[in-house]
Structure 1
Amino acid sequence: MTTPIRVLLVDDQELIRLGFRLVLEAEDDVDVVGEAADGDEAIRAVAAHAPDVVLMDIRMPRTDGIAATRSIVAAHPATRVLVLTTFDLDEYALGALDAGASGFLLKDAQRSELTAAIRAVHRGDAVLAPSVTRRLVDRLRAAPPAAEEPAASATDPTAELTDRERDVFVAIAHGMNNAEIAHHLFLSESTVKTHVGRVLAKIGARDRVHAVILAHRHRLVDTSAPPAGEGHGRSTT
Structure 2
Amino acid sequence: MPSAPRHAPAAAPRRANERITILLVEDHDMVAEAIRLALDRTDDLDVVGRSLSVKDALADAARLRPAVVVLDRRLPDGDGIAAIGPIKAAAPGTRVLVLTGEATPAVAARVAAAGGSGLLLKIGSLDELQDGVRLVAAGDVAFSKGLLGEALDRLTGRSSDLGGTLTPRERETLGLLGEGLGTPEISRRLGVALNTARNHVQRVLEKLGARSQLEAVAVARREGLLQ
Report TM bin, short chain. 0.7 to 0.9
Rg larger for: 1
Match in the other structure for 1:56: 71
- 2-side partners of 1:75 and 1:200: how far apart? 25
2:26/2:51 contact within 8 Å kept: yes
Provide Cα deviations, 1:115-171, integer angstroms capped at 9, x if missing partner.
11111111111112564221012223xx6x8xxxxxx768x9x69954446635764
SS of the counterpart of 1:7? strand
Compared with structure 1, are the counterparts of its residues 75 and 203 closer, same or farther at alpha carbon in structure 2 (3 Å cutoff)? farther
* Matched-pair contact (CA < 8 Å) for 1:93–1:104: yes
2:117/2:140 contact within 8 Å kept? yes
- Find the residue that maps to 1:104 and give its secondary structure: strand
Deviation at 1:91, TM superposition (A): 3.6
Question: What are the residue-to-residue correspondences of 1:49-128 with 2, within 5 Å?
Answer: 49-89=64-104, 91-128=106-143
What is the CA distance between 1:10 and its match in structure 2? 0.6
Runs in 1 of length 4+ with deviation above 6 angstroms? none
Q: 1:110 to 1:129 in 2, by over 3 A?
A: closer
Q: Which residue of 2 aligns with 1:196?
A: 201
Go from structure 1 to structure 2 and tell me whether the alpha carbon gap of 1:198 and 1:75 turns closer, same or farther (over 3 Å shift).
farther
State the aligned residue count: 204
Partner amino acid for 2:143? L
Q: Is the 8 A contact 1:168 1:196 kept in 2?
A: no
Q: Matched residues, percent identical?
A: 35
Is 2:223 aligned against 1:221? yes
Alignment partner for residue 210 of structure 1, among 200, 206, 215? 215
Q: Matched residues in 2 for 1:170 and 1:38: separation?
A: 37
Q: Alpha carbon RMSD of aligned pairs, Å?
A: 3.5
Letter in 2 for 1:27: T
**Unmatched tracts of structure 1, length 5 or more:** 146-151, 180-187, 229-237
Q: State the alpha-carbon separation in 1 of the partners of residues 85 and 72 from structure 2.
A: 13
1:6 aligns with 2:14: no
Q: Are the aligned partners of 1:94 and 1:136 in contact in 2 as well (CA < 8 Å)?
A: yes
- Does residue 1:176 correspond to 2:179, yes or no? yes
Pair 74,18 (structure 1): closer, same or farther in 2 beyond 3 Å = same
Report the TM-score, using the length of structure 1 for normalisation.
0.70
Alignment of 1:114-193 (within 5 A): 114-128=129-143, 131-140=146-155, 162-164=166-168, 167-168=171-172, 171=175, 175-178=178-181, 189-190=190-191, 193=197
| Contact 2:106 2:151 survives alignment (8 Å) | no
